[in-house]
Structure 1
Amino acid sequence: MMTRALVLTSSILGENGQSKGLAEHFLKRAANRDDLSVTTRDLVANELPHLKADELGAWQVPADERDAEQRALAARSDELLAEFRDHDVIVLAVPLYNLGIPSQLKAWFDRILRSGETFRYTENGPKGLVEGKRAVILAARGGQYAGTELDSQTPHLKTMLGLMGITEVDTVFAEGLAMGESHRESTLKEARQAIDSLVERL
């Protein structure tokens, strides 16, 4: 049975980004598995605009009642949702920018987190509509934040994934990358080893 992984990168540093490097290592290891297919999406090279009211409004108009402009606006999210649904594993390669996620990644989430599509509101709060998916977070940071109050990024990502119903989330941290060459190489080695183990389990 084929497992399908969608790898999303969001580093503004391109090939020089450490999170992009973690994603490339994931892709290299995934290529060794015949039962694992991978799709990649670079959210910087293929940048999405910030979500605006006209696009949000287009989703709320029934598909058969949308005008040409609304159809074009809704298609942006619909295409991303179709790609999202077509994969079993969502891999997020994420740098830490000012203690948060890149705005490019937020723009992707803004089009995936849609009421009636990936979650719905109930009298007991929102309920995820996504079943059978898992996620992997490949987190690259200049400092060391995991497990501290300054790591607002990890809870944010897990909360957004959980809103849709994705609660099986593996996280690989490569931290302290700006704290000297020796530390950087050591933490990257550990992260690559964790990715190797993770890919074998997918």
Structure 2
Amino acid sequence: MSVRVMVADDQEIVRTGLTMILGAQPGITVVGEAADGHRAVELARSLRPDVCLLDIRMPGIDGIEATRRLTAGGTDCPAVVVITTFDLDEYVHAALKAGARGFLLKDAGPEMLAQAVHAAARGDALIAPSVTARLLAAFARSGAAERPPAQPFEALTAREEGVLAAVARGRTNAEIAAELHISLSTVKTHVARLMDKLGARNRVEVAMWAYETDRAGG
């Protein structure tokens, strides 16, 4: 089935461009557009898209707050991909903390934009390559990395440790399945179990826990 996407950006020319790019991609259907944060939240709750593509700087409420409101609904909430012109670390951190499953810059090409939408719909997370390494390096140096990491609610199995390391390296479910020679459904089960055991809301938080505990290397 086609991934249903809602696009929110306060600049009409950008919103139209994103809609045209996504609409031309196989397996993606744009079901709505919004010009501000409040309207984005209202429209998403009405249309129930699979993925919301949100600009950060919008009038009313910004993309970060809109993300926070949209992802507060648990498993029934849409996945959010944040897109911005500004390559600033504080935006990345704020977006991921709010629950976004992707972070892209507006100069990302059509292929990466489509990849981010499909990844978010699958439950994966895609962050612009230009900020991924810097984000994880900054996290490793931060005070959060110096605090004792929270212990999992239940001990991880050897297979879950392998999946954990792969998630921390930014692998998608399909890549993990190929790397570990297991089925895609098995990978999804392991990722879901990891999130439950670690109390993580998304794959990014799973990856951060792996870095906290020096498990990112495999």
Q: TM-score category by the smaller chain?
A: 0.3 to 0.5
As a proportion of its length, which structure holds more strand? 1
Higher relative contact order (Cα pairs below 8 Å, separated by 6+ residues): 1
As a proportion of its length, which structure holds more helix? 2
TM-score (norm 1): 0.43
TM-score (norm 2): 0.41
